[in-house]
Amino acid sequence: MSGILDGKRILVTGVLMESSIAFHTAKLAQEQGAEIILTAFPRPTLTERIARKLPRPTKVIELDVTNAEHLARLESVVREELGGLDGVVHSIGFAPQDALGGNFLNTPFESVATAMHVSAYSLKSLTMACLPLMGDGGGSVVGLTFDAQFAWPQYDWMGPAKAALEATSRYLARDLGKQNIRCNLISAGPIGSMAAKSIPGFSELADVWNHRSPLEWNMSDPEPAGRGVVALLSDWFPMTTGEIVHVDGGLHAIGA
Ligand SMILES: NC(=O)c1ccc[n+]([C@@H]2O[C@H](COP(=O)([O-])OP(=O)(O)OC[C@H]3O[C@@H](n4cnc5c(N)ncnc54)[C@H](O)[C@@H]3O)[C@@H](O)[C@H]2O)c1
């Protein structure tokens, strides 16, 4: 059976739990014919345990995306395993507790800086670390955002971090287009992952979807977001870059 990622080699970050968007992305990517490699934070053992639930075995590499040594050794490890890459999935987000949950006006810059480093700047760092692995055929970089056009309840400094991620993606699209590298984001609706559970009052934010989403939104199903990522990794969006595709039940289109 042929899949839309047949023959593609994809690096997937962000597999932590079965509820991770990245886990579903990795699973779908394998089902669609890709060879994948995973990166792990904070510990490879956690990711390795979850990776056993994937259709096929996969190598797991430790990667703290703020660690220059980890980033520097990524190229050689991936080259040895897969020979190169056709796609990269950035599924990483973090903000310290005092940057979330209604503390926007009092968050110290150190916490804002951490949120920006891990959640936004890392799209550039990861892409540059993987750049030598993407050959003449180019590649597709896909990240995950939460619509940064609006101020949301509780989301606080993750909002500006996602706005920075969205802008970073556009600038990467600008600078890497000549190498036929596309950079796009999926803007997902709320999903009850670890990252979401770390936001105090996340249910208040998620409740917006119960009232306003045109399509019935299921917070415990990360698969639609994973499907969006896989579509952008495939050859079915060959002339799309710098784009943000909403997988949010259509909520972004609704005013009230
Ligand atoms: N859950 C949601 O409601 C939602 C909605 C829209 C977008 N997103 C985004 O989707 C992406 C994946 O989140 P998720 O919901 O699957 O949650 P998750 O908790 O499963 O994934 C977040 C990942 O970030 C990784 N991470 C954190 N700090 C890191 C670091 N320093 N280096 C490398 N990796 C690091 C964690 O290991 C984890 O795997 C994030 O960018 C998140 O902001 C989530």
Is 3 a domain residue?
no
Matching residue, tokens 């968050």? 107
> CATH number for the domain including 163?
3.40.50.720
Q: Report CA Rg, the chain.
A: 17
Is 1 a domain residue?
no
Is 68 a domain residue?
yes
User: Cα dist. 182→44, 141, 167, 213 in Å?
Assistant: 29, 6, 14, 29
Report how many helices (DSSP H) and strands (DSSP E) the chain contains, helices first. Answer: 9, 7
Is 136 a domain residue?
yes
Is 240 a domain residue?
yes
Task: Pull the structure tokens for residue 149.
Answer: 């056009």
pTM of the predicted protein model = 0.98
State residue 48's pLDDT score.
98
Total count of domains within the chain: 1
State residue 205's pLDDT score.
85
Is 139 a domain residue?
yes
CB-based burial of residue 76 (10 Å sphere; 0-12 exposed, 13-18 middle, 19+ buried)? exposed
Q: Strand pairing partners for 38?
A: 12, 60
Q: Is 92 annotated as belonging to a binding site?
A: yes
C-beta 202 within 6 A of ligand 1: no
Q: How far is the CA of 93 from the centre of ligand 1 (A)?
A: 4
C-beta 82 within 6 A of ligand 1: no
C-beta 218 within 6 A of ligand 1: no
Contacts of 21 (CB under 8 A, 6+ apart): 14, 91, 144, 188, 191, 193, 222, 225, 226, 229
Domain that holds residue 32: 9-253
pLDDT, averaged in runs of 10, over the chain (256 residues): 94 97 98 98 96 98 98 98 98 97 96 98 98 94 98 96 98 98 98 90 89 96 98 98 98 93
Is 99 a domain residue?
yes
What is the spatial order of strands in the sheet that 60-62 belongs to? Answer: 60-62, 35-40, 9-12, 87-90, 139-145, 181-188, 244-247
- Nearest CA to 165 out of 192, 187, 180, 182 is that of 187
State residue 256's pLDDT score.
81
One-letter amino acid for residue 110 of the chain: E
Does residue 124 carry a catalytic annotation?
A: no
Is 4 a domain residue?
no
